[in-house]
Amino acid sequence: VTLDDVARRVGVSARTVSRVVNDEGGCTPETRDRILDAIAELGYRPNLMARGLIRRRSDTIGLVAAELLDPFFPEFADGVQAAAASIGRTIFLVSTDSDRSRQHRALTSLLGHGVDGVIVFPAHDSRNDLVRFAADGLPIVVLNDEIDAPRIAVVTAEIRHGATLAVDHLVERGRTRVAMLIDHHARGPDRPSRREAGYRAALERAGLRVDPDLIIEVDNSIAGGRVGAAALLALRRRPDAIFAYNDMIAIGALQHVVDQGLEVPDDIAVVGFDDIAMCEVVKPNLTSVRIDRDLLGRTAVETLTSLASADGEPLEPRRVSVELVVRQSS
């Protein structure tokens, strides 16, 4: 059942029905009501592909995730979904597994579907590709990375600041040998870790030496945290605090330290990052840097909207603030 069917039924032109469907006004209330009745009666639903073909956009937003299973993701996606729904946008969801070519295919497809723009957790080494898509007219909001290019806007949490909050806190508690367990994927030459930068800055500001032995690269998982903690405990001069790249790693470290019979936080304090729900479930409860992921998602949508109407004007990066949540582990 098409617009024409409705028009025929009522005895008006398709143009008039279209006007009612899109709430353009300029139509007698009476005609309007008759059309609305016919729409309900016939069960008319606009064909969004036809509309999109003409308008050159489909009122959709692409959400391109590197990894759906990241504990970070659900709340972020929920924020995106809520904000998108509130402005009448439907979201396309794609996961790239952080693979550049999968991301490329995803963006091609999304562009073909007429998305207003995309919110992207970039795949590894995909900056140039993103810049190219943006140059082709695709508005892109990038998370967790800093890309400076036209039609690309950056939305991020104050990660570096969060890291300094965590380390400052540990130093205040008298810790002098603060180790860091860092996701080895997060530490490339083209992608310096903001958490590590904050960690280093905070230590230096406190007059503490940055001991390279205390910075260990690990797998981004609970198991990785365990392995990292084991390596730290094996050092001749072991640390009195561990700052982890994220909560999963922190939880692994915490578990290993406790399993070894050490007291947390007395022997070793542990601080995570992200503040996922598990922080309050693990014993002792994990101190962490809270990122308001829901807000981050909403901000991403808002930024995408601005970007789409900014017509190529560069947008300042939007930074969502973080806060340290102190719990039993520190």
Partner DNA sequence: CTGAAAGCGCTTACAG
Residue ranges binding DNA (CB under 7 A): 2-4, 11-16, 18-19, 21-22, 25-28, 31, 44-47, 50-51, 53-56
Query: How many Å apart are CA 273 and CA 247, to the nearest integer?
Result: 5
Q: How many residues does this entry show for the chain? A: 330
Applying CB under 8 A, among 7, 9, 17, 58 the residue interacting with its own copies is 58
* C-alpha dihedral (76, 82, 87, 90), degrees to nearest 10: 80
Question: Which residue(s) pair with 270 in the sheet?
Answer: 242
Nearest to 272 by CA among 285, 263, 260: 285
Question: Which residue(s) pair with 320 in the sheet?
Answer: 157
Q: Between 33 and 49, whose beta carbon lies closer to its own copies?
A: 49
Q: Which residues contact 236 (CB under 8 A, 6 or more apart)?
A: none
Residue whose entry in the numeric block shows the structure tokens 């279209």: 18
Query: How many Å apart are CA 321 and CA 326, to the nearest integer?
Result: 16
Applying CB under 8 A, among 86, 108, 128, 260 the residue interacting with its own copies is 108
Q: What x/- string results for residues 119 through 138 when contact with its own copies is judged by CB under 8 A? A: -----------------x--
User: Nearest approach, Cβ of 220 to DNA (angstroms)?
Assistant: 40
Tell whether residue 74 is a contact of its own copies (CB under 8 A).
yes
Helix (H) or strand (E) holding 217: strand 215-218
Amino acid at 192: P
Q: Between 27 and 324, whose beta carbon lies closer to DNA?
A: 27
Q: What x/- string results for residues 260 through 279 when contact with its own copies is judged by CB under 8 A? A: -----------------xx-
Q: Between 136 and 172, whose beta carbon lies closer to DNA?
A: 136
- Residue 91 interface partner, choices DNA, its own copies, none, CB cut-off 5-8 Å depending on type: its own copies
Residue whose entry in the numeric block shows the structure tokens 């490329």: 104
Binding site for its own copies (CB under 8 A): 43, 45-50, 52-53, 58, 60, 63, 68-69, 73-75, 77-78, 81-82, 85, 90-95, 102, 106, 108-114, 136, 222, 251, 255, 277-278, 280-283
